[in-house]
């Protein structure tokens, strides 16, 4: 050994800085010392002044190649016995014979396996002390090219055995690559067969089981930290058949390892999954029990990423940790996840397009129906007036009632058009809000003055109250009046005669809280989540409006920096609550509608 600490010293000749660093790191981790030369010419300069135990050289390099470097070393009397291992490729069968011809002791194919490279380096170093034989050169013809070789029979036999071993390994790698390609082709065909996101992930999970892992779970990410378990496929026949698995939404936090995969947008491998992880993956007592009985399992979590957005994640459980963590398995899973993410993204985009088309059709249906009524009223009233006025013998008709009818119909049509414009502005984020300092009581009592006659005319009782001291907030009085009008109008529609409609307001911390409640029929629990959706109605046959009022309420309140909520029980009434932030304190600023002394 040439180094002072007894370690063998290896000269690595490699023009690629990345490859050179990787070789040096591998050799040093295995107990060798290394010297790096990026060119063959530099390697010869190093050999003139330094001692090494072995040269490990690439063949293809700019300038002098590895074959020429080997010949130069063999021609140097002091270095003619220095062991040389060449890094070559089996893509050219002549490369190995050229290495023997120039005097190399062994070769390693590229791309190399670390264990194979180290084994050949060690084998060559172990023969360093043995006397080197110099048999008589002989000429062989390989593929029409003559070679003069002076290698021993042992070297040639070792070459043949090593070449056969490399060929077998390469053949196995090719077969594995073909199997992976066939699997990915099958998966791609399956993923492209449907535009339903649940079918896509369900079919993928079932395809994966027995091919990659024993269990595969597919989850989609939702809003507010929720996840939806779309599918879990497994090979346990005693558990609920996969055909009966129903997608479920979970509000509980996902496991820490799944959260890391989502946050880092990278796969996460857990060689030994603990009970907490198994519980999160299984989410079913019977399946969890089977996992506990058949474990231990390794867990692999792979995020589904499309357009730089994490859509969900796949979780694989396998009892064979070596197979699951093998580099080729990780590459296969990553490739599969990329294809799955694209399929899921396409399915989600298709769903959005379908919903947009349905919304467009809903708008056309609603507008055509709700505008037709006032237009028909106007048409009939004007036709009546024209018929009567054109008849010289007719008695003069009462014009005022007909004109009032036309005016009301015009107002209804204009209100619908204004609502549609507000919806468009809310969705595009361009809703105009002219907020000015005003008092909370002014907003409440403006609403009372406008709406009390309407409420009482329907035979309903009307109550209102401001609790506590008046406070100042910044608001658009016209828009807030629209909020009160929509909420009270909604209460009137669903409250029977002699029922109660109530308006209250109070300060609640740094917000003002307004409440509109009624004693009406209430809202079914499954309808509550949809109340603030545009064009939503409890029934398609409902003629109680276009379904825009509550959507507009939400848009106006949120444009003021506030929030709106609803509580309701069937047959017990409904309570809408919306809050607006207090105005910034500005000394001396007047409160609109409140006299100051």
SS3 string, 216-240, reads EEEEEECHHHCEEEEEEEECCCCCC
27 has pLDDT over 90: yes
Under 8 Å between Cβ of 441 and 395? no
Question: What integer is the mean pLDDT of 543-547?
Answer: 55
Q: Which of 97, 96, 98 is nearest to 110 (CA)?
A: 96
pLDDT of residue 133: 56
Q: What topology does CATH give the domain 190-351?
A: Beta-Lactamase (3.30.450)
Please, what's the largest Cα pairwise distance for the chain?
Answer: 139
The more confidently predicted of residues 244 and 468 is: 468
What one-character DSSP code corresponds to residue 60?
A: -
CA distance 69 to 11: 12
Under 8 Å between Cβ of 580 and 561? yes
CATH of 436-581, one of 2.30.42.10, 1.10.8.60, 2.120.10.80, 3.30.565.10: 3.30.565.10
Q: Is 250 helix (H, G, I), strand (E, B) or coil?
A: strand
Strand partners, 209: 213
Under 8 Å between Cβ of 472 and 591? yes
The more confidently predicted of residues 578 and 364 is: 578
Let me know how long the chain is. Answer: 597
What one-character DSSP code corresponds to residue 255?
A: P
502 has pLDDT over 90: yes
Q: Write out the residue limits of the CATH 3.30.450.40 domain(s) in the chain.
A: 190-351
The more confidently predicted of residues 543 and 467 is: 467
pLDDT of residue 142: 62
* CA 512 centroid distance within chain: 38
pLDDT of residue 541: 45
CA distance 419 to 330: 54
CA distance 578 to 589: 25
Name the percent of the chain lying above pLDDT 90: 17
Q: Is 405 helix (H, G, I), strand (E, B) or coil?
A: helix
Q: Which helix (H) or strand (E) segment is 167 a member of?
A: helix 153-191
Name the percent of the chain lying above pLDDT 70: 79
Beta strand 500-508 pairing with 511-518? antiparallel
Question: What integer is the mean pLDDT of 377-391?
Answer: 77
In tens, the pLDDT along 46-81 reads: 999 999 999 999 988 888 998 899 889 988 988 888
pLDDT of residue 370: 63
Q: CB count, 10 Å around CB of 86?
A: 26
157 has pLDDT over 80: no
Strand partners, 213: 209
pLDDT of residue 117: 87
Query: What is the chain's mean pLDDT, rounded?
Result: 80
pLDDT of residue 587: 37
Which of 107-121, 229-243, 450-464 ranks highest by mean pLDDT?
450-464
pLDDT of residue 507: 93
pLDDT of residue 41: 93
pLDDT of residue 88: 77
Kindly indicate the confidence band of residue 512, based on its pLDDT and cuts at 50, 70 and 90. very high
Q: Write out the residue limits of the CATH 3.30.565.10 domain(s) in the chain.
A: 436-581
363 has pLDDT over 70: no
334 has pLDDT over 90: no
Under 8 Å between Cβ of 593 and 438? yes
257 has pLDDT over 70: yes
297 has pLDDT over 90: no
pLDDT of residue 591: 37
Question: What integer is the mean pLDDT of 424-431?
Answer: 74
In tens, the pLDDT along 480-492 reads: 988 998 899 889 9
pLDDT of residue 332: 83
Class of domain 9-170: alpha beta
Reduced 3-state DSSP string for 512-566: EEEEEEECCCCCCCCCHHHCCCCCCCCCCCCCCCCCCHHHHHHHHHHHCCCEEEE
């Amino acid at each position: 050994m040439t180094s002072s600490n007894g370690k063998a010293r290896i000269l690595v000749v490699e023009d690629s800085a990345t490859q050179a660093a990787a070789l040096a790191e591998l050799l040093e981790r295995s107990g060798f010392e290394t010297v790096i030369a990026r060119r063959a010419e530099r390697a010869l300069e190093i050999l003139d002044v330094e001692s090494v135990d072995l040269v490990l050289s690439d063949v293809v390099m700019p300038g002098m190649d590895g074959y020429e470097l080997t010949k130069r070393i063999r021609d140097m009397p002091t270095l003619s016995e220095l062991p040389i291992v060449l890094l070559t490729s089996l893509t050219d069968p002549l490369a190995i014979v050229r290495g023997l011809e120039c005097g190399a002791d062994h070769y390693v194919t590229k791309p190399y396996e670390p264990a194979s490279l180290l084994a050949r380096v060690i084998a060559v170093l172990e023969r360093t002390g043995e006397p080197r034989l110099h048999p008589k050169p002989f000429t062989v013809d390989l593929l029409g090219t003559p070679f003069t070789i002076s290698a021993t029979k042992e070297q040639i036999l070792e070459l043949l055995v090593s070449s056969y071993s490399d060929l077998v390994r390469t053949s196995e790698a090719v077969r594995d690559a073909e199997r992976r390609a066939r699997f990915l082709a099958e998966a791609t065909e399956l993923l492209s067969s449907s535009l339903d996101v649940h079918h896509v992930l369900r079919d993928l999970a079932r395809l994966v089981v027995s091919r990659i892992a024993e269990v595969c779970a597919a989850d989609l990410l939702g809003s507010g930290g929720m996840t939806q378990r779309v599918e879990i496929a497994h090979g346990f026949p005693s558990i609920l058949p996969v055909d009966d698995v129903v997608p479920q939404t979970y509000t509980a936090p996902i496991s820490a390892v799944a959260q890391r995969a989502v946050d880092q947008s990278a796969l996460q491998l857990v060689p030994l999954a603990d009970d907490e992880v198994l519980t999160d993956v299984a989410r079913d007592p019977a399946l969890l029990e089977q996992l506990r009985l058949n474990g231990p399992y390794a867990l692999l979590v792979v995020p589904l990423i499309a357009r730089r957005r994490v859509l969900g994640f796949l979780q694989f459980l396998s009892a064979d940790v070596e197979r699951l963590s093998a580099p080729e398995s990780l590459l296969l899973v990553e490739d599969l996840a990329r294809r799955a993410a694209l399929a899921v993204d396409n399915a989600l985009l298709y769903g959005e397009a379908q919903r947009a088309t349905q919304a467009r059709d809903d708008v056309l249906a609603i507008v055509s129906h709700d505008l037709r009524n006032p237009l028909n009223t106007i048409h009939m009233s004007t036709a009546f007036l024209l018929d009567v006025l054109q008849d010289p013998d007719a008695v003069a008709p009462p014009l005022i009632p007909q004109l009032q009818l036309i005016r009301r119909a015009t107002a209804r049509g204009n209100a619908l058009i204004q609502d549609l414009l507000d919806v468009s502005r809310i969705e595009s984020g361009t809703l105009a809000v002219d907020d000015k300092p005003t008092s909370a009581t002014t907003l409440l009592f403006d609403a009372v003055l406008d709406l009390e006659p309407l409420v009482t005319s329907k035979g309903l009782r009307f109550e209102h109250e401001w609790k506590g001291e008046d406070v100042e907030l910044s608001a658009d009085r016209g828009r807030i009046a629209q909020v009160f009008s929509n909420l009270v109008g909604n209460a009137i529609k669903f409250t029977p005669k002699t029922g109660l409609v109530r308006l209250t307001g109070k300060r609640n911390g740094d917000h003002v809280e307004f409440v509109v409640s009624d004693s009406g029929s209430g809202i079914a629990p499954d309808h509550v989540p949809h109340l603030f959706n545009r064009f939503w109605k409890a029934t398609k046959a409902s003629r109680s409006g276009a379904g825009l009022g509550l959507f507009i309420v939400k848009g106006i309140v949120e444009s003021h920096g506030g929030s709106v909520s609803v509580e309701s029980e069937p047959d017990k009434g409904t309570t809408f609550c919306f809050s607006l932030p207090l105005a910034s304190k500005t000394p001396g600023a007047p409160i609109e509608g409140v006299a100051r002394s």
